[in-house]
Amino acid sequence: MKKRLLIMVLWMITAGTLLACSPQTENAQFVEESKTRLIPGTYRAEFDQPDSRGWTPFLVMKINDEGKIAEVNFDYISTEGTLKTQDADYNQRMTAANGLGPKTYCPRFAKNLIIYQDPAQVDGITGATSSSQEFKQLAQAAYAAAEKGSQGTVYLSHIPEDSQESGEGDS
């Protein structure tokens, strides 16, 4: 009799523990939805001035009616109005030096942001260290604006180049 009572008590403790530790799917689903819900619109972030080579990085993010990142454009614009991804000479030099150029890595960053829906989840790209950092900053700023529905351009201060790692060559 004592053995049966002990087994029943242990069974009840185990069942209670399992129920208490199980995820509450209704609340978990609500948290996930509220975390990823962005306000539909177009959001832009850019640095407030060009780097020492004359390029200004920018990011444009479009949020669809479901609150998801639907389109992303990450690029650099020169003081003359040229896009870095379209500058054939620059891309050729960068590809020769680092194995890839902005024509390759800029769309890769954009694609990964659409896939992961979170700037923090997008990994940097070897050979594009400065651009990885700039992309993350711009994506986080545009994402924060999309959470609030603030569609004006967000301007970020440029990181002084002497504080960046030397020898990267991707700016």
What pLDDT is stored for residue 1 in this prediction?
A: 59
CB 37 within 8 A of CB 144: no
Q: Is 136 exposed, middle or buried (0-12, 13-18, 19+ CB in 10 A)?
A: middle
In 3D space, the residue among 168, 169, 137, 167 whose CA is nearest the CA of residue 154 turns out to be 137
The domain that holds 103 is classified in CATH as: 3.90.1010.20
Task: Please report, in angstroms and rounded to a whole number, the separation of the first and last CA atoms in the chain.
Answer: 78
In a domain? residue 24: no
Q: In which domain, by residue range, is 111 found? A: 39-152
pLDDT along the chain (171 residues), means of 10: 56 52 44 65 97 94 97 97 96 94 97 97 92 96 97 86 44 50
Residue 13 falls within a domain, yes or no?
no
Long-range CB contacts (within 8 A, 24+) of 81-86? 84/55
Residue at 27 is within a domain: no
Looking at the domain assignment, is residue 9 inside a domain? no
86 in a structural domain: yes
Return the pLDDT at 27: 41
**85 in a domain, yes or no?**
yes
- Taking residue 90's Cβ as centre, other Cβ atoms within 10 Å add up to 20
The CA distance from 12 to 66, in Å, is 43
Query: What is the DSSP secondary structure assignment for residue 163, as one 8-state letter?
Result: G
Q: Is residue 28 part of a domain?
A: no
Domains of the chain: total? 1
Q: Is 163 contained in some domain?
A: no
Q: What's residue 37's pLDDT?
A: 81
pLDDT score, position 24: 46
